[in-house]
A and B are shown apart, each in its own frame.
Chain A
Amino acid sequence: MGVTLGADMREWIARVVDWFRRDRLDAELDEELRFHRQHLERDATAEGSGDATSAAKRQLGNLTRTVEDARERWSIPRLDHLQQDVRYALRGLRRSPGFAFGVIATLALGIGANAAMFGVVDRLMFRPYPMLRDPDTAHRIYLQRMARNDQRTESWMEYTRYLDLQRATTTFEKFAAFFPMNQAVGVGDAARERPVAAVSATYFDLFDAPPALGRYFTPDEDRTPMGATVVVLSHGFWQSEFGGQDMLGRTIQVDNLPYTIIGVAPEGFTGITDGSPRALFYPITTYAGSRPGRDATEYFTTYNWGWTSAIGRRKPGVSVEQASADLTNAYLQSWNHQRERSPNMTPPDVAKPRGIAGPIREAAGPDPALEDQTALWVTGVAAIVLLIACANVANLFLGRVLRRRREVALRLALGVSRSRLAAQSLTESLVLSLIGCGAGLVIAQWGGSVLSSLFLPEGAEFNLLTDGRTLAVAVAAALFAAVLTGVAPAVLSTRADMASTLKAGAREGTYHRSRTRTALLVAQGALSVVLLVGAGLFVRSLDHVSSMRIGFDAEHILFVRRELRGLALSDTQRIALHRKLLETAQSIPGVERAAFVSSVPFRSTSTTDLYVEGIDSVHRLGQFTYQTATTDYFPTMGTRILRGRGFSPEDREGAPRVAVVSEGMANVLWPGQESIGKCMRVNADTMPCTTVVGIAEDAVQNSLTSTQWFRYYLPIEQYRPAGGYALMLRTRGDPALHAETVRKALQEVMPGQSYVAAQPLRELIDDRQRSWRMGATMFVAFGGLAVVVAAIGLYAVIGYNVAQRMHEMGVRIALGARSPDVVKLIVGQGVGFAVAGVICGGVLAWIGARYVQPLLFRQSATDPLVFALVAAVLVLVAGMASIVPALRAARADPNSTLRAE
């Protein structure tokens, strides 16, 4: 069967190819037959039969029939029709370029929006990683538990947990662990922070990616407590850094150790990463085993440090549910194991530990980030834009069918079949849609760079025009649009009543109100309302989040972190280095104030046990984080002291211990009391009192959406003099402008291979505000687009109606109607459409509101203000779109109307 099918297929392809060159084939056949005939005559003459020519003619048979029979081999009537229809469509477009432009532009915007958003969402959620073998059976491992009545989903775990899960599960063929990060690579001036990944030896087995050079590391080189110092370079890094020379056996410095290069991954291998491609891969146990402090020796036996991401490959025949159940069971065992060591851990029946074999892409996983959810919503928005565009185009087509009624009737009368007419109409939509698709892809690629920077991690590849998946979606969207826009006009054109139309003559006396067109207009209005409401909600969210007082003054702060890169320093040396850094920073022109700190907002927080007299368990009230800092912390950050005082130079080691607490913390620990002067014991209840000397305004720590703002501040000298890793610098003017000067000046202080990196604090916050900025930008862009398209549609329909009713208007004016009455009549019609749209759209938006609520920031999804504003905008736009045709109607000339009668 397969062979026949293949052969048939081949013959058909040949036929279609021949169809395209049928003119040449015709000519060749003629020449061939001429040749045949010549030879026949010549041979007949040579044989000496009487009338050579007639014999030849007789022999040649019916020439015409021969030609016809042969031609049948390359004639495909359907293709002929299609070609005629396409030509007819193109001719029609040339005749009315304005109409064609309107349709193509509208569809291009709709299709382009969808292609671009698909490109984004596909990269975020669906596209399998390059070279990943059998992606359907590979899963990221997610762990869920209940913490303070909140379900937490995490995609990372302790390395010990990873080992536990691997040991206790039976449904997985293989586990792999990985930890992506940025680390300093190289030495001296050539050293740069680069994206790298610490991975297990099993990691490479997930892929069909034999090394381009050398080999990958083996399980022997990836073992606890400390793996081998070997490294596999990515192809790109190998090319850019070493020009593709044979580097096997040479060493490269990564973080604090020299590594031997043992292999190069193949071109196109990215591993599992959403952002910039990783420069190199080395054993995960080598990473953990070379950490400073106790982590290096305890990471595979304790549960103190959660950092490992895990991938599991299901065994054949095991379902996803079975795998997840197996994971849950293993997680429970591991939980109990951990509880044996720390008995005050939450019991499993409260924590409800649960394992999930989920999608590798976290955006598609059980706990997607706000940004990812927003991206999905915006994709829905793009689909709505396409619907609006289709409704608009369908309306334009309908208008033209109405205008062409006479032509259609004439063609029917001349014997063109109705199905041919419908096919013609559909072909026209198809041609326009496909042209729109081409233009849309160009728009998508052009606008895509904006989308890519909004939604995708830095360094992500984004080329839509060479991407088969996006092209397929764009073409599918175009076909969808063609059907949607072509069907109604096709049906309408074949329903034309020829007799009455032909009889009606040139003047169309009566005005036809088309119910379909009205419905399409109202639908456009309604969908626009939905998008505008969304736009309003996101804009207000963004407004809330950016005007929110976050407790410090991010605009003017540059933060500098120092990276020791494995340099072993004694406490005294550390203290000296930190002091030197602080002094150097303070002496840099442009730096107004500086403080050395132990945590940076949105990067890290610290917690420790806290004891307060009269409270059983402070822990139970929420999470209290602390910051240790040098004297100038509050004026540097711009965090206001509400009562009491900030730090003073006298708060040094040996002096009475002091703390500043946030207002929120004071209110929860000592409600209704004066908190200044209260005693807290930090770390242990045997510690001496730390006295509260000041109340600071609340400040954001790790999350903008958090509702807990419990934070306390300790002088670094009193708490942990050798601690801390970052400088906060208040700069004059834009901190970004000072970043390089500051980095250079501070780098001079750093010993050995250690280094500093400077970044404006603003950038960290921008990252956190991304989801609302994204939502606001995209909803406004698409919402605006929708309204413009809908307004054009309304303008076209009202304009058409007015043209149809010019006669009626003339009569009205002749009977005494004044211009304002006529304008009011027409504008009223346009506004009527808008009001209907507002009502339908308002209801839709109201229903959709609760789904979008979690994505908003301190903003009710059913905010009456937003709804009212949107309604006003839509009515106003409708009024404006109908005013021009209305004025035209008001100029109807009663004289000519009556004379024509």
Chain B
Amino acid sequence: MPPNPRRDLLPGTLDMLVLKTLSVQPMHGYAIARHIQRLSQDVFRIEEGSLYPALQRMRQKGWVRAEWRQTPNNQRARYYTITTTGRKQLGAQSAGFDDLVAAIGRVMRTV
């Protein structure tokens, strides 16, 4: 099977994907990137250039918390945890996203 072609993220969806990922369990940045890549079956590759600035922004907005912990391999890594505000934000964004997809789908089917 040929690998899926890479696609760019829709603008503004990175936050949502990161929050969704973190709602499973706290993770460090690299794990977040891998998780999204794996679940999207390699469609999305999260560039660090966008991931880390986004994480800092979400931390300042109070959607995620960051703390240094030991990885299972005993390395120091910064783990991100979703906050209550973050969960609310995720709810709002995914609802908006569903509406968006449905709207696009309707247009695409009719025309």
A69 adjacent to B30 (CB under 8 Å): no
For chain B, residues 27 to 85, give those with C-beta under 8 angstroms from any C-beta of chain A.
Answer: 28-30, 33-34, 45, 47-49, 52-53, 56-57, 59-62, 68, 75-78
For chain A, residues 44 to 85, give those with C-beta under 8 angstroms from any C-beta of chain B.
Answer: 59-62, 65-66, 69-70, 72-74
B60 adjacent to A39 (CB under 8 Å): no
Chain B residues contacting A70 (CB-CB under 8 Å) are 52-53, 56
B78 adjacent to A62 (CB under 8 Å): no
A31 adjacent to B49 (CB under 8 Å): no
B28 adjacent to A69 (CB under 8 Å): no
Minimum Cβ distance to chain B for residue A42 (Å):
10
B47 adjacent to A61 (CB under 8 Å): yes
A10 adjacent to B75 (CB under 8 Å): no
Chain B residues contacting A60 (CB-CB under 8 Å) are 48
Chain B residues contacting A11 (CB-CB under 8 Å) are 60-62
Minimum Cβ distance to chain A for residue B49 (Å):
4
> Beyond A60-B48, A69-B53, is A32–B60 a contact (Cβ under 8 Å)?
no
Minimum Cβ distance to chain B for residue A75 (Å):
11
A72 adjacent to B53 (CB under 8 Å): yes
Give complex CA distance A69, B54 in Å: 9
B78 adjacent to A32 (CB under 8 Å): yes
Chain B residues contacting A33 (CB-CB under 8 Å) are 48, 52
Residue pairs across A and B with CB atoms within 8 Å: the count is 65
Give complex CA distance A33, B77 in Å: 10
B61 adjacent to A61 (CB under 8 Å): no
Chain A residues contacting B68 (CB-CB under 8 Å) are 28
Minimum Cβ distance to chain B for residue A16 (Å):
10
Minimum Cβ distance to chain A for residue B89 (Å):
10
> Beyond A32-B78, A35-B75, is A15–B60 a contact (Cβ under 8 Å)?
yes
Chain B residues contacting A39 (CB-CB under 8 Å) are 30
A66 adjacent to B52 (CB under 8 Å): yes
Give complex CA distance A74, B52 in Å: 13
A31 adjacent to B76 (CB under 8 Å): yes
A450 interface residue, CB < 8 Å from B?
no
Minimum Cβ distance to chain A for residue B104 (Å):
27
A36 adjacent to B62 (CB under 8 Å): no
Chain B residues contacting A72 (CB-CB under 8 Å) are 53
0 or 1 for each of B70-110: is its CB under 8 Å from A? (1 = yes): 00000111100000000000000000000000000000000
Chain B residues contacting A65 (CB-CB under 8 Å) are 49
Give complex CA distance A70, B28 in Å: 16
Closest to A62 in B: B49
B49 adjacent to A61 (CB under 8 Å): yes
B30 adjacent to A36 (CB under 8 Å): yes
Most buried by A among B29, B34, B48: B48
Residue from A14, A35, A74 in contact with B62 in the complex, judged by beta carbons closer than 8 Å: A14
Give complex CA distance A31, B60 in Å: 19
Minimum Cβ distance to chain A for residue B13 (Å):
18
B53 adjacent to A73 (CB under 8 Å): yes
B60 adjacent to A40 (CB under 8 Å): no
Chain A residues contacting B60 (CB-CB under 8 Å) are 11, 14-15, 18, 73
A36 adjacent to B29 (CB under 8 Å): yes
- For this complex, 24 residue pairs linking A to B, each with C-beta atoms less than 8 Å apart, are A7-B61, A11-B60, A28-B68, A29-B52, A29-B56, A32-B29, A32-B77, A33-B52, A35-B76, A36-B29, A43-B34, A59-B48, A61-B47, A61-B49, A65-B49, A66-B49, A66-B52, A66-B53, A69-B49, A69-B53, A70-B56, A73-B53, A73-B56, A73-B60
Q: Which residues of B contact A (CB under 8 A)?
A: 28-30, 33-34, 45, 47-49, 52-53, 56-57, 59-62, 68, 75-78
